[in-house]
């Protein structure tokens, strides 16, 4: 019997594998509005119950990911009899154009509304050309 040998090539994964959420807290996709301006774009996201310490914003591989964590409120000495409001985390992702300067993205949160400013790179901003008499 002939013995055959083969070289095995080991390849690294091209994209990192993201772990599946295993938390027992539901995740909601919050409502969002996107506005384009001459300077860039503005994203407004509803994150009720979130403050600056509970919001995580990341830009990776052309994707802007917004996560907000809400801690459930308890009422000491009382049991919930009936509830319609569900507490959960928020998560939303947006594709980001190469025309956005990801190094200058700014975010503020006030009254449960997150405002993310996405400025354009200088080359992408509109320029007014002055017409001269020749």
Closest CA to 125 of 100, 106, 94, 102: 100
Determine the pLDDT at residue 106: 94
pLDDT digits (tens, 9 = 90+) for 57-106: 999 999 999 999 988 777 888 887 887 877 889 999 999 988 899 999 99
Tens of pLDDT along 7-65? 555 555 555 555 555 567 788 999 999 999 888 999 999 999 888 899 999 999 999 99
Cα-flanking dihedrals φ and ψ of residue 34, to 5°?
A: -125, 125
DSSP 114-130: EEEEEEBPGGGS--PPP
In sequence order, the β-bridge partners of residue 68 are: 55, 90
**Per-residue pLDDT at 1 exceeds 80:** no
Confidence category of residue 110, pLDDT binned at 50, 70, 90: very high
pLDDT of residue 87: 80
pLDDT for the residue numbered 29? 93
Reference 125, options 44, 33, 35, 36; nearest CA is: 36
Domain spans of the chain, in order of start? 27-71+86-122
3-class DSSP state for residue 82? coil
27-71+86-122 maps to CATH 2.60.40.790: yes
Residue 11 is predicted with a pLDDT of 54
| Residue-level pLDDT at 128 | 80
């993310």: which residue's tokens? 116
């Amino acid at each position: 019997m002939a013995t055959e040998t083969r070289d095995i090539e080991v390849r690294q994964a091209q994209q990192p594998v993201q772990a599946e959420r295993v938390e027992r807290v539901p995740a909601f996709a919050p409502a969002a509005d996107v506005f384009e301006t001459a300077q860039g774009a503005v994203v407004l996201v509803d994150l009720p119950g979130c403050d600056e310490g509970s919001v995580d914003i990341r830009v990776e591989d052309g994707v802007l990911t917004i996560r907000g964590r809400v801690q459930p409120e308890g009422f000491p000495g009382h049991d919930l009899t009936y509830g319609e409001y569900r507490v959960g985390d928020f998560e939303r992702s947006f594709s980001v154009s190469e025309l956005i300067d990801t190094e200058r993205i700014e975010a503020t949160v006030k009254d449960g509304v997150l405002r993310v400013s996405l400025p354009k790179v200088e080359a992408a901003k509109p320029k007014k050309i002055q017409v001269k008499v020749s």
